[in-house]
Amino acid sequence: MEPRIKTEHWVHAHLRRCAIEAVPAFVIRHGDNERGMVLLKINTLGNGCKVLIQARDISGKLGWLAALNGDLVDEAAADGYIERQVRNDPDLWVVEIEDREGHRWFDGEEI
């Protein structure tokens, strides 16, 4: 099994990338430092929010699954989904990105 970077370091590296690009991104919920999965709330600032949850494919490669049918939803619906996920996985990290065009800014393909 290949060594994996700690979630804490991986998230902070991507937050730094967002900061360099002047994209607001915030840790909304701090999960397990070692191996917590990540959920992204991409807020398009007026057109709704897209929610993506980190997952591994069958080969172990990290990617993103679109939640809520991949639709843009209002912020209350996104937050409700996130609350349910946190109840199911207390190790989960939640990061909100504010990007009018809905870019993810975190590595990994949608699967």
User: In angstroms, rounded to a whole number, what is the distance separating the alpha carbons of residues 90 and 67?
Assistant: 18
Taking every pair of C-alpha atoms in the chain, what is the biggest distance, in angstroms?
43
16 to 9, 27, 51, 54, 100: CA distances (angstroms):
10, 12, 21, 19, 19
pLDDT-derived band at 3, boundaries 50, 70, 90: low
Task: Report pLDDT digits (tens) over 64-110.
Answer: 999 999 999 999 999 999 999 999 999 999 999 999 999 999 999 98
Q: Which two tokens stand for residue 83?
A: 């609350």
What is the structure's pLDDT at 29? 98
Task: Give buried/exposed letters for 69-97 (b at 16+ CB in 10 A, else e).
Answer: eeebbeeeebbebbeebbeeeeebbbbbb
Q: Which two tokens stand for residue 87?
A: 């109840």
CB 106 within 8 A of CB 16: no
Q: For the chain, give every domain's residue range.
A: 26-101
Specify the CATH number of the domain 26-101: 3.40.1530.20
pLDDT above 90 (res 61): no
